[in-house]
Amino acid sequence: MRKEVHVQIAKELFKKLNLPKNYEKVFIRAVVEPDRWRRRHPRYKHHYLQYYTILDYVKRAREAYINGYIQACLQNLGIALHFIQDAFIPSPRTRELRKSHQHLEGKVASFKGETLFMLRNAIDEGFMVSVSSPKFIENVLSNIQWIYDEDEVLKCATKTSAMITAAVFGPKDPPSGLREKYRMLKEEHDKRISKASIISLISAIIGLTLTILLENIYLLPIFFFIIPILIYAGILSDDEEFYEVKEEASWYGIK
Ligand SMILES: [Zn+2]
């Protein structure tokens, strides 16, 4: 996506945040930053969704915000938004797509009054439907896809950027009960881990004893690797709730 488009979306988003004006520069610089990496890091394919890269930058932005580092927050968020916006535009890599890519980018770059109005609407909508949670972010990111319609692509890229921005700048206080729930699940999780270690240790002792008694060396890997791996996998597989709550907790800076 062209630089001016990234910048225009960032400017409109920034207005919604009610931050001191001097932060705007930081945000805009971050939003165009990934295009300067292009030559140095060709592996960043801008027009393919970099799901984990984006998620990582969004989480870093949120962590900075929670800790009161607005500048670092905007830097990370800006980079994430760049990749999000680019991910809506079909890659120019294939020949038949190149034409429509240029057409799209050209069209998207012209900011008439009408386009600006649409942009602001998309931002308002995004802020309205946003939920400040990692689950929401993941859901939004996994719904990103190439859009071939010029108006639609700008609208979706902007609305999605607004949803992510509003989520990062969402309430700092955790929802009631989250802290306690996380603590409880963590205790259970730690107990499971120590249970798995004890069973693995017993398995290793039995294995060693049997190996000596039966003089069969092939028993060792079964008791030393296979059984412990199965035990850990079994015990930790139904710990999904713990990992979900852990992610939610760290969104609020709960360790
Ligand atoms: Zn780009």
Tens-place pLDDT, residues 41-78: 666 677 777 889 999 999 999 999 999 999 999 999 99
**8 A C-beta contact, residue 154 and residue 5:** yes
CA of 46 to the centre of ligand 1 (A): 5
Cα 50 to middle of ligand 1, angstroms:
12
Distance of alpha carbon 144 from alpha carbon 87, whole angstroms: 7
83 CA from centroid of ligand 1 (Å): 6
pLDDT 10s digits, 77-130: 999 999 999 999 887 666 556 666 666 666 665 666 778 889 999 999 999 999
Give distance in angstroms: CA of 29 to centre of ligand 1: 13
C-alpha 244 to ligand 1 mean position (Å): 31
CA of 201 to the centre of ligand 1 (A): 52
Q: pTM here? A: 0.82
Distance (Å, rounded) from C-alpha 106 to C-alpha 13?
A: 22
Residues with Cβ–ion distance below 5 A, ligand 1: 35, 46, 86
pLDDT value of residue 107: 60
The model's pLDDT over 222-244, given as tens digits with 9 standing for 90+, comes to 887 888 888 878 777 778 889 99
